[in-house]
Amino acid sequence: MPVDWFHEQVSKAFPDSNIRVICPENPSDTHEAEILLGSLPADLYIGYSLGSLWLLLNRKLLPQKAIKALLAPILAFSRERQMGGKTSETQLKFLIRVLEKNPENRSPLVNFFSNCEVPFPDSLLNKV
């Protein structure tokens, strides 16, 4: 998800707020989460999609009195699992194979996101 797009969407909803978007490099790294969340204390934490799962995973690092909002938590990407995902399992397996063969090539991700139902502009796709 492009950081600029997400920042813009949150800014529209909370126009007078100081908004910082956190995108962990390695979502499973607890140390990175400690650094990111510890250096950016907030009154409100919003996790969108996989970010909501990241907040759940690191909930002990969030201030207890802070408000937490989990938006569109996708518990499984494939629509066959019926847990929020809209992409076929075949598409996901293909995308994973393509990315494993050439992890530096971002065009499969750009194509994947451009075919999703996420309403961000084409100009931001290169930031995925």
Residues 48, 54, 60: CA angle, nearest 5 degrees: 125
Q: Decide which of 32, 53, 73 is a domain's last residue.
A: 73
CB atoms within 10 A of CB 47: 21
The reply to whether the predicted model has a pTM over 0.75 is: no
pLDDT value of residue 59: 93
Cα(82)–Cα(95) distance, integer angstroms: 20
Whether residue 6 sits in one domain with residue 47: yes
Instruction: Identify which has the larger pLDDT, 122 or 5.
Output: 5
Whether residue 117 sits in one domain with residue 63: no
For tokens 């996901």, name the residue. 92
pLDDT value of residue 85: 67
Q: Which residues contact 55 (CB under 8 A, 6 or more apart)?
A: 45, 47, 62, 68, 70
Nearest to 1 by CA among 117, 96, 113: 113
